[in-house]
């Protein structure tokens, strides 16, 4: 029988969170092993293709024009720079290249430029992902036609806590964009951020919303807030690391066939905490020194950690790479 469900009740999710830690980990690991190679992790590298001066007011974000952060704004990067960054990421072993832009939504002209980037990255044999803010239905269709593999758009937090974090777009706006992306047949990458001062109930509600979407997002990034000076959420109360691990385990159980990504915030995690996250069912990370505007662990450090844990990574497709080299 398939264990993919879209009708998780809050009571069920609360009882998963309330399990003794070892029982929760055992259940998560059992589900994980039924669907994935337990020693394989997918790695994606991020690049900010347009940085800062964003009109939205997301309380965690270094890139909002409304917060007084030290960040230098940058216009949309030239295609050549994007290709060089993607090649470097591929050489370091990333199989997916994710391009992020600090937009409320892209204009159709913006999209023309992003489509060129997607096509160029694909030609290198890498999977492509973009995160550009809200999308209309025709825009999602356009990205699909360009061959985009994944679109990232997060719910960020529970519908109840949402208004404490963002006021310039609604939770429903996010659901609408996700419907456009899903409807166009693009894989959905959708998750949230923990450690923003939300309650345990909010974390359970976020995971419930994700798991009860019409289809589980193929990729579920679970970010730990990176506290950026000058943002309203700087100074938020630190989350208990074990509560973060529990959230990964619950996400794994609720969405058995999704890649659960241990996302932002790894520089604040010990190797041991990350190992627990992999045991809880995380099977994807962001790889490379930089996330979008903040730091990520050094690639060397991650490679060593993987070696210590006996973890292998999914590789970029060699066939597509050969085709790109021979000009096919």
Number of residues that bind ligand SF4 (CB under 6 A): 8
Nearest-approach distance from CB 152 to ligand SF4, in angstroms: 10
Residues 234-273 that bind ligand SAM (CB under 6 A): 264
Residues 45-74 that bind ligand DTB (CB under 6 A): 46, 62
Of 52, 59, 93, 100, the residue at the interface with ligand DTB (CB under 6 A) is 100
* Residue placing its CB nearer to ligand SAM in the complex, 93 or 106: 106
* Residue placing its CB nearer to ligand DTB in the complex, 24 or 100: 100
Nearest-approach distance from CB 29 to ligand SAM, in angstroms: 26
195 binds, among ligand SF4, ligand DTB, ligand SAM, none (CB under 5 to 8 A by kind): none
Is residue 61 within the footprint of ligand SAM (CB under 6 A)? yes
Is residue 247 within the footprint of ligand DTB (CB under 6 A)? no
Which of 168, 153, 165, 220 is closest to 195 using CA atoms? 165
The residues carrying an active-site annotation are 54, 58, 61, 98, 129, 189, 261
Is residue 56 within the footprint of ligand SF4 (CB under 6 A)? yes
Is residue 60 within the footprint of ligand SAM (CB under 6 A)? yes
Q: 15 to each of 2, 6, 24, 95, how far by Cα in Å?
A: 21, 17, 10, 36
Residues 88-107 that bind ligand SF4 (CB under 6 A): 102
Number of residues that bind ligand DTB (CB under 6 A): 17
Nearest-approach distance from CB 100 to ligand DTB, in angstroms: 5
Question: Residues in the site for ligand SF4, rule: CB under 6 A?
Answer: 54, 56, 58, 61, 63-64, 102, 133
């Amino acid at each position: 029988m398939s264990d993919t469900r879209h009708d998780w009740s809050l009571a069920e999710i609360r009882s998963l969170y309330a399990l003794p830690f070892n029982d929760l980990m055992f259940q998560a690991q059992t589900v994980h092993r039924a669907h994935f190679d337990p020693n394989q992790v997918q790695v994606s590298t991020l690049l900010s293709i347009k940085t800062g001066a964003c009109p939205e007011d997301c309380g965690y974000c270094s890139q909002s024009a409304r917060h007084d952060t030290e960040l230098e704004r940058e216009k949309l990067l030239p295609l050549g720079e994007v290709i060089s960054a993607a090649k470097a990421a591929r050489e370091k072993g990333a199989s997916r290249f994710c391009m992020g832009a600090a937009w409320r939504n892209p204009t159709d002209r913006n999209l023309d430029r992003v489509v060129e980037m997607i096509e160029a990255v694909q030609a290198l044999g890498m999977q492509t992902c973009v995160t550009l803010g809200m999308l209309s239905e025709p825009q999602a269709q356009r990205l699909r036609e360009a061959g985009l593999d994944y679109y990232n758009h997060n719910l960020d937090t529970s519908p109840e806590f949402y208004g404490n974090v963002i006021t310039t777009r609604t939770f429903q706006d996010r659901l609408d964009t996700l419907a456009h992306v899903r409807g166009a047949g693009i894989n959905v990458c959708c998750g949230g951020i923990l450690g923003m001062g939300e309650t345990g109930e909010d974390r359970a509600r976020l995971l419930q919303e994700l798991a009860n979407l019409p289809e589980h997002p193929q990729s579920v990034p679970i970010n730990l807030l990176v506290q950026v000076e000058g943002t309203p959420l700087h100074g938020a109360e630190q989350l208990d690391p074990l509560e973060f691990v529990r959230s990964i385990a619950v996400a794994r159980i609720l969405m058995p066939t999704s890649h659960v990504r241990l996302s932002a915030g790894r520089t604040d995690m010990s190797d041991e905490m990350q190992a627990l996250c992999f045991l809880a069912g995380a099977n994807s990370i962001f790889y490379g020194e930089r996330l979008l505007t903040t730091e990520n662990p050094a690639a060397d450090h991650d490679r060593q950690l993987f070696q210590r844990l006996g973890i292998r990574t999914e590789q970029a497709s060699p066939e597509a790479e050969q085709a790109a080299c021979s000009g096919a």
